[in-house]
Amino acid sequence: MKIISKYILKEMIGPFLIGFLLFTIIFLSDKMTELADLVINYGVDFLTTIRLFIYLMPAFLAITMPMGVLVGVMVSFNRLNSDNEIISMKLSGLNIRSVITPVLLASIVLSVFMIGWNNYVLAWGNTSFRNLVYNITRDHASMVIQKKVFISDFDKFVFYVEEKDDKTGFLNHIMIISQATENSPAYYISAATGYVFPDPREKTVYLRLDNGYLHQIDPKNEAVYSKIKFSNYNIILDLKNKLSGMISNEKSAREMSLKELGNEITRTFDKGINTNVLKVEYHKKMAIPFACLSFTLLGIALGISIKIKGTSLSFIISLGLILIYYFLLLAGEITGSNGTIAPWLAMWLPNIVTAVVGLIIMYLAVKEKVAI
């Protein structure tokens, strides 16, 4: 029996690694363009880029690990079924349940491991990534602002500085043009002096302006012009990069451990604030890891029920099932957050549906009542 168990688990490793690596590359491809942008346009060194990449990985592995499990289980069991090895095992007196059990046990162990991964490694990666992007913004802000150059590296603003003291970093005769947004009309600022200063506590980089004027035209009535004098005025500097959106002065729910999330849910509830979003994140940290188990059940069921020569079609079917699962998960996040469905049920429902479908198909396959 141990030989058969090792044989089946070994059979799964290849397809699992292929699926896991492929889905990881797909998910990383979008972020890779952002990392490349930081290197090319913002002068981020190679070592810092590697660190950003490492900090991003835990979030993607938390998602692609269950995907790889489904591909590995389905492809390997389908191969065993297509080559009539499942039938040979039955004829030799092996019970199909004894063949399936080691794989299910392995998936349970992996699910528990992934809960720990989401609780500690994922939270560490998100926090470290946020801190490093803040440091990049801080360093870039000081470096990129040069005298007698129009600067458009930061979101929403274009700068022009007449003079800059390279030793102290103080700026003189500053002009700033803001871009109009949905909530704020465009305006023009002129200031006598200024300087860049970071706020590590708030994870924000500011441009401090002293002794200046803010000029603005009313967008609803262009004949109305306002000029406001100020002694000091702070502007938040954000890189024109999607990664900068991860900078926040507060620890997000994704960066919290289960214990921290539980405490935050209690504190938020005591304040009379809706806690659905936090509860959704809490249950998601456990539900996604257990997708390994539900995907294993479904993968075994389909693998022993469908005979497909070659791995391509098995992989395509796996991809389709993964898309359905994550569509249900996304729908669960929305409905759980707005209270349409209880947050715990919204997050666990994709696993429940997947596991129940898998168990039904597996039962029929074991009883030889279904085969394709």
Instruction: Indicate the pLDDT class of residue 115, thresholds 50, 70 and 90.
Output: very high
Looking at the whole model, is its pTM more than 0.85?
no
Residue 297 lies in a domain: yes
CB atoms within 10 A of CB 267: 12
- Three-state SS for 289? coil
Cβ–Cβ < 8 Å for 226, 93: no
Does residue 186 surpass a pLDDT of 90? no
Asked if 286 and 322 sit in the same domain, the reply is yes
* 105 against 49, higher pLDDT: 105
Say whether both 223 and 332 belong to one domain. no
Q: Which domain holds residue 274?
A: 2-138+250-366
Cα-based distances in Å from 258 to 7, 185, 293, 346 = 37, 42, 20, 18
pLDDT, one tens digit per residue, over 144-185 is 777 888 887 777 788 888 888 877 888 899 988 887 666 667
The least confident of 115-119, 201-205, 255-259, 354-358 is 201-205
Q: Which of 237, 267, 289 is the last residue of a domain?
A: 237
Do 111 and 88 share a structural domain? yes
Q: Are residues 179 and 262 in the same domain?
A: no
- Among 185, 210, 237, give the residue marking a domain's end: 237
* Position 364 pLDDT exceeds 90: no
Please report whether residue 245 resides in a domain: no
Task: Indicate whether 148 belongs to any domain.
Answer: no
Query: 231-282 pLDDT, tens per residue?
Result: 988 888 776 554 554 444 456 677 788 888 888 899 888 888 889 989 999 9
Q: Which of 163, 146, 116, 108 is nearest to 297 (CA)?
A: 108
The Cα-based distances of 178 to 159, 214, 228, 247 in angstroms read 9, 11, 15, 21
Q: Of 46-60, 120-134, 228-242, where does mean pLDDT reach its minimum?
A: 228-242
Of residues 64, 36, 71, the one with CA closest to residue 50:
36
| Residue spans of beta strands (DSSP E) within 31-156 | 150-151
Residue 242 placed within a domain: no
Q: Is position 143 within any domain?
A: no
Confidence (pLDDT) at 41: 66
User: Domain check: are 46 and 8 in the same one?
Assistant: yes
**219 lies in the same domain as 258:** no
Q: 150 forms bridges with which residues in the sheet? A: 160
Specify whether 163 is located in the same domain as 218. Answer: yes
How many other CB atoms are found less than 10 A from the CB of residue 168?
Answer: 8
Name the DSSP class of 220: T
Distances (CA, A) of 238 to 66, 99, 193, 229, 255: 35, 56, 20, 25, 21
Residue 340: the pLDDT is: 92
One domain, residues 105 and 77: yes
| Same domain, residue pair 22 and 134 | yes
pLDDT mean over 358-368: 80
pLDDT on residue 1: 52
Pick from 237, 265, 297: which residue ends a domain? 237
Stretch 280-291: mean pLDDT: 92
List the one residue out of 123, 129, 112 whose CA is nearest residue 288.
112
- Residue 285 and residue 278: Cα distance in Å, rounded? 11
Domain identity same for 276 and 133: yes
Instruction: Round to whole Å and give the CA distance between 148 and 166.
Output: 13
**Residues 201 and 322 grouped into a single domain:** no
66 located within any domain: yes
Provide the domain count of the chain: 2
- Structure-token pair, residue 318: 């796996």
